[in-house]
Structure formats: C-alpha cells, structure tokens
Amino acid sequence: MKISFTFEPKPAVQQELQQQFPTHDFRFGKGAAPERDTAIWVTYGEDVKVAAIENLPELQWISVASAGVEKMPLSLLHSKEIIVTNARGIHKTPMTESIIGHILAIYRNLPAIYTLKNEQTWEKPRGSKELRGSSALIVGPGAIGEEVGRVLTAFGVEVTGCNRSGKTIEGFSNTVSLEKLDDQLGSADIVICLLPSTPETHRLFTIEKFQLMKNTALFMNFGRGNVVSEKVLVEALKAGEIGGAVLDVFEVEPLPESSELWGLPNVVISPHVSSHSDFYVERAMEIFSRNLSKWEQGEIDLENQVDLKLGY
C-alpha cells in the first residue's frame, strides 16, 4: 500500500516508520503532491483540496498531523467515504502550559516586571492579583480544555465548562450546554475559548456576549480565530466591556499591520504559537503509527477520527 507524506519528518522518524511497517511503500516529500496510487495520505492538512483528492482514486484515509480540518472539503471526503483522522490531543500539554502561563503572567504582573527590568528600574509594580478563588469558564472543552480545567483546579480556580452537549466533565465544578453560554458569561473572571471552527461557532462571540461578561474579565481565544470578529473584539476592548484579551488565533493570520488590536494595551498577541512544542511531530507520528497498526488489522475504529458531518 502506498503511504504518501506531503511533509518531511526527521530521517529517524522516517526510518522508524519503514522498519515498523516494512510491507508498505512510504514516500516522503515536502511540497510535492501525493502519487496517484496513494492509499494513505499523511499531511499537515493545508494541501487537502478538491483537485488533489479527485486525483487520488485509491485514497482511503487522510491522516492530518494537526488539529484543524475546517478548510478541507469535508463533504466531498464524506461522499467518497474517505476516513480523516487528526492529531487533536497532541496540543494538550503545550497549549495548557501557554494558557496557564498567560493567566499567571497577567495576574502576577509579569509584563510590568519585565518592562521595569529592561528600564533597569527598581519599582514595585502595583495591581498583582491572586488567581486562587477566581472563576474560569472554558468554552469548548475537548482534550485541551479538560487539561486546562484540571490544572486551573489545582490552582484553586472554580472551573465551569460549556460544551455542545452539556455533558459533565470530571473535575469541573459545573458544565452547561452551549445554548446556556449566556447565563455563565457574567460570573467568569476568565473566559477561555477553545471552540473548533464550525458553522455553529462562526462569530459566536457577538458584542452582546462581551457585554454580558464582567468588565474585568480576561477573554482568551486559543481555538479558532473566526469565533469572534476582530471588529467586535476591538469594540469590546475599547468600550471596556472586558478587562483584557489574550489571543492566539485571529480571523486573518498573520494579523494585518493595520489591525487596531496591535495598539490596545490590554491585549496580548500570541502569533498562533501556543501549541508549539519540540515533541509535536513525534507525538503526531505516535498517533499515526497506532492507527496504521489498527488499519493493518482491518480495524476501522481509528483514533482521533474526524466526524465529517460535524467537522471536528
């Protein structure tokens, strides 16, 4: 069976795959299109387009080494019964560490401490707060949100989850369904959005949502940029509807130079780097290896299979 990678893992990773699965024909090549007789396509996802798929008559499975699949032609893949798996979950550790790091940095005044150090000035900055005893609302808690909630709980934060079903999440104080989001927005000190990009979540965070939040609330978007329009976000921040924002994702990336977000003081712009990790490809390949073993055994219940109707 031909397995085509449209990126190049490290030589050691390539060798390990070939040794582990000697009967398969592996092709590795950054930028090149998969060969026509490819059965399994391993990709970061950005090259999964209609034309490419139409050119692969034997394609059975696309293994995406990232989490977002929203830009792929999902209905075409669904109609062709092509399985799609992604690497969701491998972002869990680095993203949790980034999210909690940003929260603590703001609560404990680290940006001011860094500035004063650079100015070589000994001055005790005012306004540091304790995180313990505050409340966080995690909107869209999948693997990452559950991990963020678990760690926030260890800091003594009261964590509420808001997911599609309202299904209880272990360790969270409370979980509500997405329809009841508005009831929760007013009581959270920190609102952490980890929603995927779907028609339902598109620009979900309207100005009315920000008006419901505490004026001191910290809004964090680490899911997908299009859950809130930049215009609304700027409006909410300028009007003082919220206290600040930490943004890892944006409607348009790179964030245009002209964006007003750059100039707002209470905004942290993390240029879509919160999931960065030295272990990224390694972990994605672990998932792929486990799935390929299953595939060889004829199992169809693969790890991290994307529901092509729901889009995640």
Q: Which of 108, 164, 202, 214 binds a second copy (CB under 8 A)?
A: 108
Q: Is the peptide bond preceding residue 57 cis, with omega within 30 degrees of 0?
A: no
User: Residue 150, interface with a second copy (CB under 8 A)?
Assistant: yes
User: Residue 123, interface with a second copy (CB under 8 A)?
Assistant: yes
Two tokens at 152? Answer: 């926030």
User: Residue 101, interface with a second copy (CB under 8 A)?
Assistant: yes
User: Residue 1, interface with a second copy (CB under 8 A)?
Assistant: no
| Angle of CA points 75, 78, 81, to nearest 5° | 155
Nearer to a second copy, 2 or 92 (CB): 92
Size of the site for a second copy (CB under 8 A): 51
DSSP H or E stretch at residue 292? helix 280-296
DSSP H or E stretch at residue 288? helix 280-296
User: Residue 125, interface with a second copy (CB under 8 A)?
Assistant: yes
Nearer to a second copy, 74 or 157 (CB): 157
Q: How far is the CB of 138 from a second copy (least distance, A)?
A: 16
User: Residue 132, interface with a second copy (CB under 8 A)?
Assistant: yes
User: Residue 8, interface with a second copy (CB under 8 A)?
Assistant: no
Order of strands across the sheet that contains 218-221: 174-177, 158-163, 135-139, 190-193, 218-221, 244-247, 267-269
User: Residue 170, interface with a second copy (CB under 8 A)?
Assistant: no
The residue behind tokens 């582990």 is 20
Nearer to a second copy, 34 or 94 (CB): 94
User: Residue 107, interface with a second copy (CB under 8 A)?
Assistant: yes
User: Residue 279, interface with a second copy (CB under 8 A)?
Assistant: yes
Long-range contacts of 13-21 (CB under 8 A, 24+ apart): 13/281, 13/282, 13/285, 16/285, 17/285, 17/289, 20/289, 21/289, 21/292, 21/296
User: Residue 76, interface with a second copy (CB under 8 A)?
Assistant: no
Distance of alpha carbon 45 from alpha carbon 34, whole angstroms: 13
Distance of alpha carbon 207 from alpha carbon 232, whole angstroms: 6
Percent helix, percent strand, percent coil in the chain, to nearest 5 = 35, 15, 50
Q: How far is the CB of 159 from a second copy (least distance, A)?
A: 13
User: Residue 117, interface with a second copy (CB under 8 A)?
Assistant: yes
Q: Which of 54, 57, 75, 154 binds a second copy (CB under 8 A)?
A: 154
Q: Which of residues 245-264 bind a second copy (CB under 8 A)?
A: 253-255, 257, 262-263
Q: How far is the CB of 305 from a second copy (least distance, A)?
A: 26
Q: How far is the CB of 253 from a second copy (least distance, A)?
A: 8
| Angle of CA points 292, 62, 280, to nearest 5° | 75
Distance of alpha carbon 139 from alpha carbon 31, whole angstroms: 36
Cβ distance 132 to 155 under 8 Å?
yes
Q: How far is the CB of 248 from a second copy (least distance, A)?
A: 10
Distance of alpha carbon 214 from alpha carbon 220, whole angstroms: 14
Q: Which of residues 188-247 bind a second copy (CB under 8 A)?
A: none
Cβ distance 190 to 137 under 8 Å?
yes
Q: Which of 110, 143, 207, 234 binds a second copy (CB under 8 A)?
A: 110
User: Residue 186, interface with a second copy (CB under 8 A)?
Assistant: no
Interacting residues toward a second copy by CB under 8 A = 93-94, 97-98, 100-102, 104-105, 107-111, 113-114, 116-117, 120, 122-125, 128-132, 150-151, 154-156, 253-255, 257, 262-263, 267-274, 276-279
